[in-house]
Amino acid sequence: MERLRNIVILTGAGVSAESGIDTFRSAGGLWEQHRVEDVATPEGFARDPDLVLGFYDMRRAAVQQAEPNEAHHALARLDAAWDGDILLVTQNIDDLHERAGVADVLHMHGEHLNAWCTACGTRSRWTGPLITRPPCPACGESALRPDVVWFGEMPYQMERIYAALADCDLFVSIGTSGAVYPAAGFVREAKANGALTLELNLEPSQGSHWFDETRLGPASELVPDWVSEMLGE
């Protein structure tokens, strides 16, 4: 794979589905169980903080019971063996990529295992509940919220993502529906910069027509096969 040196990989909820973590938009998914406006907007948080804190407390506890699957492990293998640049951008707020061994994961939508103090701005590693209004470890104020990017808020590290998209030879999207921007626009950005584009997903996404190639199936099968291909195994 001479020509392909720099890779940007985007993952979504589908990569963690086989670890038992609900996706958002599939049948019975999170957005069928909860109203987005209530649990994933700053307005919803202002309206009913207990509802929102309880929602993320439940998910934070569930993530800590989950284990990385074959897709996470394969991406960690590629990350360790690939001699070009790899940027792994995830929309997921779980830590399964890190637990599989990827050191530098860019969480563009935040992280479950961080609490963000709205009084002093400090982000603290957090594994327990927030609904009990614990004090911020830095300033002592009871002003912690989940470190999650809600609808209407700006995703993290966008400059770093666009710089990598401008410089990549290959853009790969894994387990995402392509329903949410700006992530859903990355394929076009990469393509416009001359990169090859590949989608690995259980079913066609809303952006499938932008990809040079789409492979359909479970991530736990597609990703290890693709990684073996990339490593010439």
Residues annotated as catalytic (active site), given as ranges: 109
Q: Using CB under 6 A, list all residues that contact ligand APR.
A: 12-14, 17-18, 23-26, 29, 91, 109, 175-177, 179-180, 201-203, 205, 218-219
User: CB-wise, 144 or 174, nearer to ligand APR?
Assistant: 174
User: CB-wise, 169 or 199, nearer to ligand APR?
Assistant: 199
Q: How far is CA 193 from CA 19, 62, 90, 162, 167, in A?
A: 34, 39, 21, 11, 7
Using an 8 Å Cβ cutoff, are 12 and 176 in contact? yes
Distance CA 148, CA 56 (A): 9
Q: How far is CA 155 from CA 3, 54, 103, 147, 177, in A?
A: 31, 22, 20, 11, 17
Q: How far is the CB of 138 from ligand APR (least distance, A)?
A: 26
Dihedral over Cα of 210, 211, 213, 215: its sign: negative
β partners of residue 86: 7
Residues 117, 123, 126, 130: what is their CA dihedral angle, to the nearest 10 degrees? 10
User: CB-wise, 100 or 136, nearer to ligand APR?
Assistant: 100
User: CB-wise, 134 or 185, nearer to ligand APR?
Assistant: 185
Q: How far is the CB of 96 from ligand APR (least distance, A)?
A: 13
Using an 8 Å Cβ cutoff, are 97 and 108 in contact? no
DSSP string, 71-108: HHHHHHHHHHH-SS-EEEEES--SSHHHHHT-S-EEET
Q: How far is the CB of 24 from ligand APR (least distance, A)?
A: 3
* Chain residue at closest Cβ approach to ligand APR: 14
Q: How far is the CB of 185 from ligand APR (least distance, A)?
A: 13
User: CB-wise, 20 or 128, nearer to ligand APR?
Assistant: 20
Q: How far is the CB of 202 from ligand APR (least distance, A)?
A: 3
